[in-house]
Structure 1
Amino acid sequence: MNLFHERMRGFERRNFILIVLDGSLFAFAISFLSEATIIPAFVQTLTGSAALVGLVGATYALGRYLPQLVGAHLALGRARRKPALFWIVVAERIGILAIALTAQAVGLWDTGVVVVLFFLAFCAYAITTGLIGPVYGDFVAKALPRSRGWYYGMSQLLGGVLGFASALTAERLLSEWAFPVGNQIAFWLCFGLSFLSIPLVASLRDEAYPDVEPRRPLSRTLQSIPGLVAGDTAYRRFLGVRAILASATAGMGFVVVHGLAEGYISNAEAAVVAAVFILSQAAGGFLLSLLGNYRGWKSVIVMGGLLLTVSMTGALFAHDLVGVALVYAALGAANATTIIGDPNVSIELAPPSHTSIYLGTTSTLLAPFFVFGPLLGGAVAETTGYPVIFVVAGILAAVGFILSLFLPEPRKLRRGEARLVGQPGTTP
């Protein structure tokens, strides 16, 4: 082991604690801004438009997944990952501030103007979450070579417990304060709490890579992607399955909106559903992290497909708060697949020098499937109703689940290779 790896392992315990605390605190804060429940309910109450509710999921997916290749490119050619990570974290908090400021204009400005500004702010925030994905993932792979699985599990568990508490707080706010005041308070709390995690990121320890190739133009990175995907059969099959399952998430935001439209849940109860979603994502993420750490990350993808199938089937029969909560319990655990399964499968399939590129490619290529699903769902709901969305999503989830059973296990493919994840990303 060279001096670089010795030093990084010396920082591993410190970095593990700081990264888990940062992820947990941010999860607590961001629960006040849940894109799966609270934001769709906010837009539904503000506009009454199913199409705009669909735009929430599409906007978040577009910002969350499409820019990740740009984020991966930012990590290339850098001896240290921490500076890029830190400044994207700051930008992310500024995006949350913009959302809070825009929501404050409800009732003061024309609704159409507020809606446009709100979606611009929400898109800006989503883009920062996309940029940070591969940079954060690459730093985790570099900083936690022996404890990556435990990091994902612990951050999901602690973040979920805290997120559950914040979602219950949001429910009280939305119950006790008439629209839009409850939402406005929740968004300001999200901003204030998220800002507290910045010192944790600033305290991370990073060691300069001894040998780093110069970063080539972004165009060269983008041009390399088709060859990368075409030349890696296992990675290509993984992307195909995940594309189908990503399309199946189109119905996620519409379950709570259907309940609001039919009158069997209230705007405040949407926050209760958010709490269930967060707690389930935490518990499911923790258990799936352990499963992936010890049995391989393919099993996480398989479980995600099964949970999506169950949740979309259940959405057809949910006609009260308990039923909707059970659906979101399954959706929360399924969502953990995207959070922990996709990056870890990508890391294990990637050659050591291509970690950030694989991470960015996965999210960017899956982005259209996360984006267009909610948009099409919103358009369909306007004419045929929400149950049709749930049927189509359930069929897609079932197909993805069956195909996932035949994926190769990445760990077996790389068995026998000398591998240290998180080595410096270089342009292929």
Structure 2
Amino acid sequence: MDAKIEETEDAAQVAADDDLAVREAAYEKFVWDNLKRNYIGNYLHGMLGMTGFRLVNAPTFLPAYLHAVSGSNAIVGLALALQQLGGVISPIVGATKIEHRTKVMPAAIWMGSLGRLAILGMALAGWFLTGQALVGALLFCMLMFGIFMGAQRVVFSLLMSKVIPISRRGRLQAWRNATGGAIAAVLAGVAGTYFIQPNLFGNGYSTTFLFAFVLTSFGLWALQLLLKEPEPPTVRAQARIRDRLKDFPALIAQDKAYGFFLVVQMLATSARIATPFYILYVGKVIGADGATLGLLSFAFLGADTASNLVWGYLGDKTGFRLVLVLSIIGWVAATLMLLNLHEPTWIFASFAVLGASLSGYMMASQTMILEFGNRDDLPMRIAVSATAESITATAGPLIGGVVAEVYGYDVVFMASLGFLAAALLILLSAVREPRRRLAG
């Protein structure tokens, strides 16, 4: 009797394995059959979306605007801290809302739309509010922007992992970031000279943010129209947020390289303590009018554009660990240049190196995370990384603002260099290339 039961169980297991293999094969076939359509959809979404988001996230326009309306380094730091605070919890919430779903596109549209409305709120606040009310509204919009961008990061990273094969992700990001960066670089130069300098429509910064809102919205509409999403062969069972939080230690402990990768992310994010103060430091050293803001934004975004092609193809060829190493080294070099070389040409070069380095860091960190562990845990793994980054990024700008106010910008930059050096050391000594481990 026991032998018969055992035979029945074995047969059922074989049937289940065969069925799973069939579903895996069907899933893989769907991905390749719809690759061209999904590639174009992801490309347009990334190109147009990142164009607008770069105008908001570049270390030029928004820090300069916040400083102009508040007159305080601490407020600049607080605003950036609130943006990151929004991204602390929302990735985990977002992951628990989608990891059990076979289709996540509806959630992507909601999260993406709400994030774009936060940018629109920044634009409208500049036109209709003044004084403390304007500062308060901008701080609120930054918090909301962080909340919805944190959740969006999980959803859109998962979408890309579902529809773009691992061997094509680098070149997709390269071309969408490069063309988006080209548009953003040109628009940054136009915004500085023709929007901000003459205070177009009564507030040049609001005009710039409105353009960012329009561009990002077009990108989201393109993705909604074009993307065809497959249903994965397996998904996790739905769980409460509290229960998933308890799984975090096991999720990290099961892969030591991933655990060290998280530490690298947190240290590199801590180095952003200095990022919003680069442009303020330039203003102190040589002055920074609207034309200078546009020129340095052009340098930052233009280098981002050109370097993406190198980072993407290099990542596809070697894996993204090398990209991460090179980008951190470049980040260190840019900071040292800004601290020690105060000629306009060198300052322009430092913003270009910074743009290229941050571009490489973002591409490498967001792509490597897709290659650790198994597919069913991917949403939560993305969320853990996003939350870990946001925790350190929340405190960084806030502390940086206070330190800059009391001790000056040099101390903030030196702290940033210390974090980057520690991140590079751990990356080189403890994090292996995940793609090579998968191949092995």
- TM-score (norm: length of structure 2): 0.89
Distance in 1 separating the partners of 2:385 and 2:176: 22
Contact 2:100 2:235 (C-alpha < 8 Å) held by counterparts = yes
Contact 1:35 1:60 (C-alpha < 8 Å) held by counterparts = no
* Residue equivalent to 2:181: 160
Distance in 2 separating the partners of 1:282 and 1:74: 34
* Residue equivalent to 1:414: 438
Distance in 2 separating the partners of 1:56 and 1:321: 28
The answer to whether structure 1 residue 181 and structure 2 residue 203 are counterparts is yes
* Residue equivalent to 1:394: 417
The structural deviation recorded for 1:379 is 0.7
Q: 1:61 to 1:274 in 2, by over 3 A?
A: farther
Q: Deviation per CA, 1:165-211, whole angstroms, max 9, x where unpaired? A: 11112112112227961112112222222222232121111123344
* Residue equivalent to 1:63: 86
The structural deviation recorded for 1:75 is 2.0
The structural deviation recorded for 1:9 is 1.7
* Residue equivalent to 1:51: 74
Contact 1:264 1:321 (C-alpha < 8 Å) held by counterparts = no
Contact 2:181 2:302 (C-alpha < 8 Å) held by counterparts = yes
5 Å-filtered alignment, 1:47-196, equals 47-64=70-87, 66-106=89-129, 109=130, 111-145=131-165, 146-172=167-193, 173-177=195-199, 181-196=203-218
Q: CA RMSD in A?
A: 2.0
* Residue equivalent to 1:256: 279
Q: Which amino acid aligns with 2:68?
A: T
Q: 1:170 to 1:43 in 2, by over 3 A?
A: same
Contact 1:71 1:133 (C-alpha < 8 Å) held by counterparts = no
Contact 2:59 2:278 (C-alpha < 8 Å) held by counterparts = no
The one of 227, 238, 243 aligned to 1:220: 243
SS in structure 2 at match of 1:212: coil
* Residue equivalent to 2:7: none
Distance in 2 separating the partners of 1:57 and 1:321: 27
The structural deviation recorded for 1:378 is 0.9
SS in structure 1 at match of 2:439: coil
SS in structure 1 at match of 2:197: helix
Q: 1:397 to 1:213 in 2, by over 3 A?
A: closer
Unaligned runs of 5+ in 1: 417-428
* Residue equivalent to 2:346: 323
* Residue equivalent to 1:304: 327
Q: Which amino acid aligns with 2:375?
A: P
SS in structure 2 at match of 1:78: coil
SS in structure 2 at match of 1:56: helix
Unaligned runs of 5+ in 2: 1-23
Q: Which amino acid aligns with 2:83?
A: Y
Bigger shift: residues 221-230 or 392-401: 392-401
Distance in 1 separating the partners of 2:36 and 2:43: 11
Q: Deviation per CA, 1:325-361, whole angstroms, max 9, x where unpaired? A: 2222122122123421112211111222211111111
The structural deviation recorded for 1:324 is 2.7
Contact 1:20 1:151 (C-alpha < 8 Å) held by counterparts = yes
Q: Among the aligned pairs, what percent are the same residue?
A: 23
5 Å-filtered alignment, 1:359-378, equals 359-378=382-401
Contact 1:89 1:132 (C-alpha < 8 Å) held by counterparts = yes
Distance in 1 separating the partners of 2:407 and 2:323: 34
* Residue equivalent to 1:352: 375
Distance in 1 separating the partners of 2:327 and 2:253: 25
Q: 1:31 to 1:245 in 2, by over 3 A?
A: closer
Q: 1:395 to 1:226 in 2, by over 3 A?
A: same
Bigger shift: residues 237-246 or 376-385: 237-246
Bigger shift: residues 172-181 or 184-193: 172-181
Bigger shift: residues 393-402 or 379-388: 393-402
Q: Which amino acid aligns with 1:243?
A: M
Distance in 1 separating the partners of 2:315 and 2:30: 27
SS in structure 2 at match of 1:405: helix
Q: Which amino acid aligns with 1:183?
A: Y
Q: Deviation per CA, 1:292-337, whole angstroms, max 9, x where unpaired? A: 1111111122112201211221121243443332222122122123
The structural deviation recorded for 1:392 is 1.9
Q: Which amino acid aligns with 2:181?
A: G
Bigger shift: residues 206-215 or 150-159: 206-215
The structural deviation recorded for 1:81 is 1.8
Contact 2:103 2:230 (C-alpha < 8 Å) held by counterparts = yes
Q: Which amino acid aligns with 2:156?
A: Y
Q: Which amino acid aligns with 2:161?
A: A
Distance in 2 separating the partners of 1:270 and 1:391: 24
Distance in 2 separating the partners of 1:27 and 1:275: 15
* Residue equivalent to 2:297: 274
Distance in 1 separating the partners of 2:164 and 2:255: 26
The answer to whether structure 1 residue 38 and structure 2 residue 38 are counterparts is no
Distance in 2 separating the partners of 1:151 and 1:65: 28
Distance in 1 separating the partners of 2:309 and 2:293: 24
Compare the two structures and name the one with the higher helix fraction: 2
Distance in 2 separating the partners of 1:280 and 1:404: 24
The structural deviation recorded for 1:66 is 4.5
* Residue equivalent to 1:20: 43
